[in-house]
């Protein structure tokens, strides 16, 4: 399958992002033809600091590469370095109805959130995203639930193009992680772990050891004693078991057995040490990249080159089909 996905260069990455989304990229790159982009052109549709953008892109690239995105197994690049994205966005823009854009949930939310900055780019966000996907003739698009509507939009755009101008694009399917992949806040296991929620409930992938230990040890559990996966009655413990299982690759029933008769404190202590070990390996990789930033720029350039090759072919085909 050909796969496309992208991520906006925003702030820090927490273990929920890692387990729920980045891990999916890492698994998919093993078996599929993957194109992964840093969506800087999407990032500028909401207010941003132009002096900080380059650093954000660089930091995101370092983080993803440290976590396991492998440039030998996929094309990993910065969206704005492949001009064909904007070119195809223009072409696609001429066949999609404005009404559909105005009905997008994200457009409505963001235009309320940034009343002073409702720009045409924000309205056209789904067109650029459809172009991202269609440019590589992607068949699968790993995204979070919140982006499903945009993938739907890309499907409609692809179908419409094929009908109007002749078969060109496969119709992409969203690949949504199952609910179980949701990592919950350590403080409030009713809600997803998130950057914007309680910081004490959120573990960054580069969290310092002391703070990581504190966060795990003070994670909410319940008044019981048993270490059991039970989403009805033991949301906190279940969440910790999910995290433990994801990082150790030990199945949950085996963990339940291992901790039978043991205390929450013992279980949490082991979990904290496991995370320190696993995230420590990732931190080491990050530090070595920071010492050699040229390696990152080189990888991104090569990724863009690989992407461009495919992108140019699609653009030629599309222009020809459209009579340009
Ligand atoms: P966000 O940081 O909310 O923009 O999300 C970026 C990606 O990470 C999306 O694909 C989300 O589905 C995923 N994600 C965010 N938070 C979590 C979480 N707590 N558990 C699992 N996946 C998450
Ligand atoms: N809009 C996506 C987000 O906010 C990022 C993105 C841009 C994307 N282009 C894409 C995701 C194409 C999947 C496919 O997270």
Pocket of ligand 2 (CB under 6 A): 4-8, 39, 42, 129, 132-133, 141, 143, 147
Could you tell me the residue ranges of all domains in the chain?
2-180+293-322, 199-287
Probe residue for ligand 1, chosen from 8, 14, 20, 63 as the CB with the greatest number of ligand atoms within 8 Å: 20
Q: Is it the case that residue 180 has pLDDT exceeding 70?
A: no
Model pLDDT, residue 181: 63
Q: Relative to the alpha carbon of 17, which ligand is closest? A: 1
Q: Is the dihedral of CA 204, 52, 116, 109 positive or negative?
A: negative
Mean pLDDT, rounded, of the chain? 95
Give the model's confidence band at 198: pLDDT under 50 very low, under 70 low, under 90 confident, else very high.
confident
Atom of ligand 2 lying closest to residue 8 CA: 5
Per the annotation, the verdict on 195 as an active-site residue is yes
Q: What is the mean pLDDT of residues 280-287?
A: 96
Q: Identify the architecture of domain 2-180+293-322 in CATH.
A: 3-Layer(aba) Sandwich (3.40)
3-state secondary structure of 204: strand
pLDDT band at 117; cut points 50, 70, 90 = confident
Does the fold of domain 199-287 match that of domain 2-180+293-322?
A: no
**pTM of the entire predicted model:** 0.90
Q: Is 199 in the pocket of ligand 1 (CB under 6 A)?
A: no
| Whether the Cβ atoms of residue 141 and residue 154 lie closer than 8 Å to each other | yes
Could you give the dihedral angle defined by the CA atoms of residues 150, 36, 309 and 91, in that order, rounded to the nearest 10 degrees? Answer: 20
Q: Provide the pLDDT for residue 319.
A: 98
The residue nearest atom 15 of ligand 1, judged by CA position, is 17
Q: Is 110 a catalytic residue?
A: yes
Q: Is the pLDDT assigned to residue 195 strictly greater than 90?
A: no
- 157 pLDDT tier (thresholds 50, 70, 90): very high
Among 1.10.472.50, 1.10.240.10, 1.10.287.540, 2.40.10.340, name the CATH number for the domain at 199-287. Answer: 1.10.240.10
CB 89 within 8 A of CB 127: yes
The model's confidence at residue 56, banded by pLDDT at 50, 70 and 90, is: very high
Residue 192 annotated as catalytic = yes
Residue 237: pLDDT band by 50, 70, 90 thresholds?
A: very high
114: left (phi over 0), alpha (psi -120 to 50) or beta: beta
Position 91 scores a pLDDT of 98
């Amino acid at each position: 399958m050909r796969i496309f996905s992208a991520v906006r260069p925003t702030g820090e990455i927490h273990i929920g992002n890692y387990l729920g989304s980045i891990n999916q990229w890492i698994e998919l790159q093993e078996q599929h033809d993957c194109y992964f982009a840093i969506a800087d052109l999407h990032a500028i549709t909401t207010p941003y600091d132009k002096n900080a953008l380059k650093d954000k892109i660089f930091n995101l690239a370092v983080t993803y590469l440290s976590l396991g995105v492998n440039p030998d197994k996929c094309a990993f690049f910065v969206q704005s370095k492949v001009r064909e994205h904007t070119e195809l966005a223009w072409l696609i823009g001429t066949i999609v109805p404005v009404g559909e854009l105005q009905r997008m949930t994200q457009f409505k939310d963001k235009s309320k959130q940034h009343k002073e900055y409702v720009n045409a780019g924000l309205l056209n966000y789904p067109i650029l995203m459809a172009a991202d996907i269609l440019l590589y003739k992607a068949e699968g698009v790993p995204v979070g639930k919140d982006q499903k509507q945009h993938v739907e939009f890309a499907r409609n755009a692809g179908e419409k193009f094929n009908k109007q101008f002749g078969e060109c694009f496969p119709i992409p399917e969203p690949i949504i992680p199952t609910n179980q992949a949701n990592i919950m806040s350590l403080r409030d296991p009713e809600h997803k772990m998130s950057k914007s929620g309680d910081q004490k409930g959120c573990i960054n992938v580069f969290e310092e050891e002391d703070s990581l230990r504190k966060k795990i040890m003070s994670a909410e559990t319940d008044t019981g004693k048993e270490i059991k996966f039970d989403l009805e009655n033991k949301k906190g413990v279940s969440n910790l078991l999910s995290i433990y299982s994801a990082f150790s690759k030990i199945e949950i029933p085996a963990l339940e057995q291992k901790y039978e008769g043991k205390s929450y404190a013992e279980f949490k202590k082991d979990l904290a040490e496991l995370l320190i070990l696993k995230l420590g390996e990732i931190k080491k990789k990050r530090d070595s990249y920071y010492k050699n930033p040229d390696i990152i720029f080189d990888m991104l350039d090569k990724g863009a080159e690989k992407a461009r090759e495919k992108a140019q072919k699609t653009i030629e085909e599309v222009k020809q089909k459209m009579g340009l």
